[in-house]
A and B are shown apart, each in its own frame.
Chain A
Amino acid sequence: MASVLATRHPEDTVHGQVGDATVPLRFSSLAEEYQVLRERAAVLDLGGHRLIEITGPAAVDFAQRILARDVEYLTSDRCMMSLVLDDSGQVVDQVIAFGREDGLLLESSCGAGSRLLDHLLAHAVEGAEIADRSADLTVIGLEGPYAWGVVGRLIDGELASLPFESVVEATWDDVDIVFARTGYTGEYGYQMIVPREASAGLWAGALEHAQAAGQEALELAMLEVRQPIPRHEATPGATVIEIGANWLVDITKDDFVGRAAVLEAFEAGSGRRTVGFTGCEGVPAPGTRVLAGGQDVGEVVHAVHSAGLGATLGLARVDPELAAAGLDLTVGGLGVTTLTSPYIVPKSWSIPII
């Protein structure tokens, strides 16, 4: 799946394959786009996020069984982030669920749409219609400490101060869009679900007030605030507890696919735990061994160079008795220190919307 906006991006845009999607990885440079995202406002082509609609009389019951969070009373003015699990408790995807008048709309994570759709179809029930809407809808995001200003100039300033995870029907240039206050990076974040035929215009309009940022900058900023990135963190066999994504599961909910396995993993207290680290030279590959006092205690899950820290930033999965900030460990033979989340304090936390 390629973004409908791909032909609108500059010729030197670097595209790459993320799961089933071809997405813009960077438009200029990672450092520049990261700075825009953390200091000003970035516009994001989220065309790699698939939109799947669930409608019909059994839609809510079906979604309630499929999603790990409670969506029974998810009204059309709300959205929420949730994990989708398989029967063994493994992460299928991390979605944003939008309440709709006639059911729900699920937005997959980047490149995970096919996997999510297959999972939904495999669990389909009578009375719940599942439809991939990606052929006629796409998603454009705004993220950054001044993203609220872009919303004001682009659509309506009142939308900028919507409560987190609020959703409204809005109009841009006589086009009906779904507008939501969301956010992946700890900064002010918004998403606009727009008809594909109008998306180029909205993208161009947003670019008059903000600068485009690609998937690399977005994922870096997500990591810095410990927002799970399923394609990196949901490694084969890892439980929700090991990933540390408990908050994307409503364990008090009576029943959902994967609940028994998650509860078993939680109660057993076994397995490893994920902790952030910085230090070392270069970027260690996933699987690089982590040592404590000379003993093998885990492995690197994902690491990057953090522009915000000016150093390597990574996640390691280690023995639970060592999953804590402030420890000096060794990764690939070089010293690292484990960190307290968030690893970067978003600028938006100290900037009011005016």
Chain B
Amino acid sequence: MAVSENGDRRAQGEGQARKSGLLQGPTAQRRALVKRPPAEGRVVAITGAYSYIGAELARRLEADPRVSRVLAVDVRKPAFPASKTRFHKIDLTMPTADSDLSALWKREGVDTVVHAAFLSSPTHNSAWAHELESIGTMHVLNAAGEAAVGKLVLFSTTLVYGAGPSNPNFLDERHELRGHPRARFVKDKVEAERQAERFARENPETVVTVLRVAATLGPTINNFATRFFMRPACPVMMGYDPLMQFVHESDVVDAFQLAVEGDHPGAFNIVGDGVLPYTTVLALLGRIPVPMPSFLAYSVSQALWMTQIFDSPPNFLDFLRFMCIADGAKAAREMGFCARHDIKQTLEDFLGVAPPLSAAERGL
């Protein structure tokens, strides 16, 4: 942390040096140590291994003969049968997390870090959320720099673009990360992305992949979106019916797997195919729409959030008024990621009443 902050301060006066990136980040000596992920015997560290994505990815890496070890870092132990995976309890909100992580990763010779320790839904404890998401990412990045990790894969969401009246129908990766006004949950993720961007600039030897994942649904995952759509009735802002986009949980893990296997620097939108209007989504799911005038909806939602009856803060209602749809073309072009489930299949699978995909569709 100290390195980059000092570097930052120095660079303020020296625009030219800043552009070259020489004043910041690790020294040339340390850069030479950066490990390219080898073809065989890879060591992958996953932070947030208890989360759906972390655990699922670890499970798939278990089956990969090219991976020799998986380090699962979290505060809770993921439950799955593991032969190569070792659990390490490190709390990212602790001030010593960065040195703990770098010591561990150096000792184990980690070549790839997957940082998925993010909250899947907004919380009232925003100070803790900030410690975990923004400061936790800082610790992870510092440790990755220190341990000269060759590849870093960061979880992010398409919420970082924010829902707004001036959004084009398809937001590509170059679009500004506006976040969402007064939404801590989104703001912390934007902060994490900014740090990762700076890390990538300062450490050109390290491949930094940011995966911006759309609202994830699926039969097993539990997050903000699944809880929202599990309710029998959902609020509808009267007169508004924005288009929505979802991605299937197993497609998200596919994307992480692709990012671990190949080198794809940059940010990628990970989205499912197809869009549907919000009310059609509700109709397909068989949910009851509850129309609310916008002036009322915000205050009702505020009251429900304050009393902790509902787990969505009021400004999230903007996502029910305006579009926030990301364009997955870059991931398809550069990563070769192509979602196996389109929006309808995702919704059906989320309900748990869909037939399983055929062998051909699952790529067997």
Q: Do A and B share a complex?
A: no
- Seen from chain A, the residues whose Cβ lies within 8 Å of a Cβ on chain B are none
Residues of B at the A interface (CB closer than 8 Å) are none
